[in-house]
């Protein structure tokens, strides 16, 4: 997944919102803008839910959960949220920290012994491997500075090793053939045997870090990662549709995943030759045939594995906005939310830009964070935090202005259209009038 912020530079330091709601013209402006993506065939659907001061100020769903079947999206529609799973895993880890079960600076090998012997790639000697300068810590995993990667992250020797040994936790195209066949901790042990891209703590590199943390949760809690999330996050917050598989009651509400043109899978272009340049939407994971419809996998991937409807994820975002509490139920302390949402990357790492090379943007514990809205070139507030998923989903939490926003669709790749920047621009330009 890539998250791209606008290339336009706006002339402000931090957005200050004056309005408490959207008027009819602003509402219509946002609706018309995003409906156009569906009407012109660029997206299958769009769903948006925005709250201010814990009150809903905008809700819109439009388009089709499955185009061929003519199934329309609604508030119950369930989406693949991919990397928006990561902040959920972050909350689970911070709960364990609060309870004294682990520390951020603990070595991962304390919980997963295989990481005691992890090697790092040495490019100076014909791609040999050497002992890293230090072991990976829990903090390294939370901040994507461990040196772990994704199979689709490049064509270097490490990425090739990942592909060779099927070190991939996620359902993707040809999903049943791709996902690692073992359970969460077996996956972590396999990943520990692959070399790191770089020494822990020296660079930011997007990867399977949260999937390793899923195993850490299992070791400490003596529950599966799925069971832990259900007991400690989903049930307390009354989230009914979020999980590692689609619930039986939600099977009629699941979406099909779409793409258009050529799509890169593991470095290879995936599309019939006649479709390479086509803008026509085509299904790459059907709503009624998806592996998400079963719970047969025992690999509960903390980086990309959850599905959710928009209301459930919006409630999760609202909990973070409120400093760890929702509807009188506290699952996390406010200080933990503060720690999660602040930048944890060193100046040295930030020199190259943090998350995906973005200037003005730092990275906290599983979330991106806005350090300087002007440099980032986005309608944002300093301290706002966010993340998105590979199917073009996004959420953000603006504690300064008491705003949460969640947007869902099902289209890959996530950087083809500037949906995230456009929503923020339309919303904040309206609310700041």
pLDDT tens track for 387-412: 999 999 999 999 999 999 999 999 99
**Distance of alpha carbon 81 from alpha carbon 77, whole angstroms:** 12
Instruction: State CA 62 to chain mean position distance.
Output: 23
Whole-prediction pTM: 0.92
Report yes or no: 214 and 184 within 8 Å, Cβ to Cβ: yes
Q: What is the pLDDT of residues 247-302, one digit of tens each?
A: 999 999 999 999 987 665 444 445 555 555 567 899 989 999 999 998 888 999 99
Residue 67 has pLDDT above 60, yes or no: yes
- Per-residue pLDDT, averaged over 48-72, amounts to 97
Cβ-Cβ contacts under 8 Å for 238 (sequence gap 6 or more): 315, 327
DSSP lists the bridge partners of residue 47 as 61, 408
- Residue of 233, 370, 365, 346 lying closest to 300 (CA atoms): 233
| Pairing mode, strands 411-412 and 257-259 | parallel
Residue 241 has pLDDT above 60, yes or no: yes
Report yes or no: 394 and 310 within 8 Å, Cβ to Cβ: no
Report yes or no: 6 and 378 within 8 Å, Cβ to Cβ: yes
Q: What is the pLDDT of residues 177-199, one digit of tens each?
A: 568 889 999 999 999 999 999 99
Instruction: State CA 56 to chain mean position distance.
Output: 23
pLDDT at 154: 80
Q: What is the pLDDT of residues 97-142, one digit of tens each?
A: 999 999 999 999 999 999 999 999 986 776 789 999 999 999 999 9
Residue 352: asked if its preceding bond is cis (omega within 30°), the reply is: no
Q: What is the pLDDT of residues 10-21, one digit of tens each?
A: 334 466 666 788
**Distance of alpha carbon 243 from alpha carbon 358, whole angstroms:** 31
Tokens 């790092």 found at: 120
The domain ranges of the chain are 90-226
DSSP lists the bridge partners of residue 50 as 58, 405
Q: Name the CATH architecture for the domain at 90-226.
A: 3-Layer(aba) Sandwich (3.40)
With a pLDDT cut of 70, the percent of the chain lying above it is 89
């Amino acid at each position: 997944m890539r998250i791209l912020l606008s290339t336009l530079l706006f002339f402000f330091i931090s957005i200050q919102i004056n309005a408490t709601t959207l008027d009819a013209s602003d509402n219509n402006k946002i609706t018309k803008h995003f409906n156009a993506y569906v009407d012109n065939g660029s997206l299958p659907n769009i769903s948006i839910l925005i709250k201010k001061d814990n009150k809903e100020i905008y809700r819109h769903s439009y388009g089709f959960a499955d185009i061929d079947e003519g199934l329309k999206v609604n508030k119950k529609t369930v989406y693949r949220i991919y990397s928006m799973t990561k902040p959920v895993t972050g909350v689970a880890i911070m709960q364990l920290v609060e309870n004294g079960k682990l520390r951020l600076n603990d070595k991962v090998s304390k919980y997963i012994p295989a990481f005691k012997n992890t090697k790092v790639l040495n490019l100076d000697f014909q791609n040999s491997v050497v002992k890293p300068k230090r072991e990976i810590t829990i903090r390294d995993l939370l901040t994507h500075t461990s040196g772990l990667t994704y199979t689709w992250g490049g064509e270097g020797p490490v990425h090739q090793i990942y592909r060779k040994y099927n070190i991939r936790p996620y359902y993707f195209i040809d999903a049943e053939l791709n996902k690692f066949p073992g359970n969460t901790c077996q996956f972590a042990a396999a990943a520990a045997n692959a070399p790191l891209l770089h020494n822990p703590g020296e660079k930011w590199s997007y990867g399977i870090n949260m999937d390793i943390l899923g195993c850490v949760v299992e070791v400490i809690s003596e529950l599966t990662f799925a069971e832990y999330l259900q007991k400690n996050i989903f049930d307390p917050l009354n989230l009914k549709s979020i999980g590692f598989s689609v619930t039986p009651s939600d099977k009629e509400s699941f979406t099909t995943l779409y793409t258009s043109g050529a799509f890169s899978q593991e470095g290879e272009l995936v599309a019939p030759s006649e479709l390479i340049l086509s803008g026509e939407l085509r299904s790459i994971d059907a709503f009624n045939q998806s592996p998400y419809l079963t719970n047969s996998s025992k690999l509960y991937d903390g980086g990309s594995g959850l599905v959710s409807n928009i209301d459930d994820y919006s409630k999760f975002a609202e909990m973070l906005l409120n400093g760890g509490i929702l509807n009188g139920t506290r699952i996390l302390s406010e200080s933990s939310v503060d720690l999660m949402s602040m930048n944890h990357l060193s100046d040295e790492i930030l020199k190259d830009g943090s998350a995906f090379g973005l200037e003005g943007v730092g990275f906290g514990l599983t979330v991106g964070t806005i350090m300087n809205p002007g440099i980032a070139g986005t309608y944002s507030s300093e301290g706002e935090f966010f993340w998105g998923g590979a199917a073009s989903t996004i959420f953000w939490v603006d504690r300064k202005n008491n705003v949460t926003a969640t947007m869902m669709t099902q289209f890959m790749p996530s950087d083809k259209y500037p949906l995230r920047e456009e929503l923020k621009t339309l919303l904040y330009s309206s609310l700041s009038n």
